[in-house]
Amino acid sequence: MYTTLLTSLENSIFTITINRPDKLNALNKDVFADLNKALDEVYSHPDIRSVIITGSGPKAFVAGADISEFSGLTVEASKALAKAGQDTFFRIENAPKPIVACVNGFALGGGCELAMSCHFRIAADNAKFGQPEVNLGLIPGYGGTQRLVQLIGKGRAMELLMSAGMLDAATALQYGLVNYVVPQEELLTKARTILDLINTKAPIAVGKCIEAANAVFDETKNGYEVEVAAFGHCFGTEDMKEGTTAFLEKRKAVFTGK
């Protein structure tokens, strides 16, 4: 089904592995096409409750965009390329199911942007993050200038964007770019442990947490109004009735996503 991805579904966790190890999993048009097909599955498949995105091999999550595809692009074509990449990453950011990046090495350029579009990030101890586009006479085009500021603050983001510097895993943790740093062999286990816990919660409520938290950074929305609407929506669900009843009856709730 996919030419550039490996996928698996186990215990309601859908794992997407970008599989171009000879190119350090660089993003090209085929990867984006496959990612969008995989996201179609994420959005529509009821058995998928949460998602891991990672890269194949021990060296790279995604080491950047495939620069060979930039050759000969016009100004308008380059804008369309950036817009298409942003649209894919918006689908990740706004997915109603948790998507976690497991960063198993270099996350540079488009790879850093992909990781930042996920709901949170876990890094292997060999991970490196950076936006080195100024080395090519470019800037990030897939949302990196925006999400890096949101995640680590303007001053630190400005320095990284303009210097093309890299953050090691420990510094990324200190800056709040990642939630955890673990040995590489424990990376997927850590993510699955967290997602197994999240998957026991009410799916609709989890999705509404994502929607409301994302509204903080959307200037077209009032986040408090989004929260009120989402709170009210949850009140109309069977899961809310089950959750409150289970709490009062001192038993574990069984959520169905209805």
pLDDT tens sequence across 174-216:
999 999 999 999 999 999 999 999 999 999 999 999 999 999 9
Considering the candidates 10, 69, 76, 133, report the single residue annotated as catalytic. 133
Residues in the chain: 258
CB-side neighbour CA atoms (13 Å) of 86: 14
Burial class (CB within 10 angstroms; exposed 0-12, middle 13-18, buried 19+) of 169: buried
Whether 133 sits among the annotated catalytic residues: the reply is yes
Beta strands (DSSP E) in the chain are: 5-10, 13-18, 50-55, 60-62, 99-103, 106-108, 120-124, 128-130, 166-168, 180-182
Q: What is the value of pTM for the model shown? A: 0.96
Q: Of 41, 76, 113, 227, which is the active-site residue? A: 113
Distance, CA of 42 to CA of 99 (rounded, Å)? 9
Task: Dump pLDDT digits (tens) for 143-174.
Answer: 999 999 999 999 999 999 999 999 999 999 99
Give catalytic status of residue 185 as yes or no.
no
Q: How far apart are CA 88 and CA 106, in angstroms?
A: 20
